[in-house]
Each structure stands twice: as C-alpha cells, then as structure tokens.
A = this chain, B = another copy of it.
Amino acid sequence: MTLNVYLSGEIHTDWREQIIEGSRGLDVSFHAPVTIHENSDDCGVAILGEEPNKYWHDHKGAMVNAIRTRKGIADADVVVVRFGEKYKQWNAAFDAGYAAALGKSLIILHGADHQHALKEVDAAALAVAEEPSQVVEILRYVLTGSLPA
C-alpha cells in the first residue's frame, strides 16, 4: 500500500522536509504546492503576460497554481494542512475545506495558540498534531501498525 500524501499550507518553515525526511523507508508518495514564494506569486504574469492591475496579476497566478493544487489534492489519500504562526493563510484553510468535501483523510498541524480559531477546520480532521514528527508517526502507524517506543 502506497500512501499518497499532499502537504498543504505554510511555506516559511521546513516542516515538509522534516516529514519527508522522517518518513524515509515508508511507502509514501509526497506532493506539495510550489513553495518558491516568488514564483508562486508571479507564475501567471511571467508565463501569460503582464497585468497592470495587481488583482489580475494575483488572479492569473492563483489560477495557474490551482492546476497543481487540484491534482495534488484529488490524487491524495491523506492531506496534511499546516498553519504557521504568521499570515492569514486562507489558502491553507481553503485547501482543508476542499479536501474535506472530497472525503480525504485530513491531518491538521498547528500550534496550541491557534486552537480556538481553527476549531471548525480541526473538526473535519482525523488527526490534529502540533509537530511534524507526529505526522510521521501517524504515517508510520497507518502503514505498518507500529507505534513510537
């Protein structure tokens, strides 16, 4: 059983690397959005032509990024959504809602201080973790049945 896992959300820390690194040896296939912030913001105009209006600049980019995001979530067995300490991160919550409506198994990853604000998102999840290492343990358990010592 290969587990297809999509890693959505925060792009300013190395949580994805921690999970991928920690999962070595497990039969997991990881996918994620483009995490090069600048490219993600500018991909629309860089490829399809400049827009003087910032709204359409953003719009074109968000649409191109959606090609990758939609496939990533559609193909996933498990969608992990990480909420970091900063920024609005509405795209993370949007991905969580999108994945929930498709019946994907959701794991939400966030610090204790976001607990109340994320209660509706957490309520759609099968697991709520604080640390990337806990996500690794979940994947290990789901695939092998073994628990941390």
Contacts and interface: CB of A to CB of B under 8 A. Distances in A.
A78 B88 contact: no
A62 B101 contact: no
Interface string A58-70: 1111111111111
B1 A71 contact: yes
Bin chain A's interface residue count: 35 or more
A105 B82 CA distance: 25
B147 A43 contact: yes
A64 B94 contact: no
A99 B42 CA distance: 27
Given A42-B147, A93-B93, A115-B54, A105 B141 contact: no
A134 B48 contact: yes
Contacts of A101: 97-102
B31 A1 contact: yes
B71 A94 contact: no
Interface of A: 1, 3, 31, 34-36, 39-40, 42-44, 46-48, 53-56, 58-72, 75, 77-78, 83, 87-103, 105, 107, 114-129, 134, 137-138, 141-142, 145-148
Given A69-B120, A90-B118, 11 more contacts: A34-B141, A39-B147, A47-B148, A48-B129, A53-B53, A55-B115, A58-B122, A63-B123, A64-B142, A90-B121, A94-B94
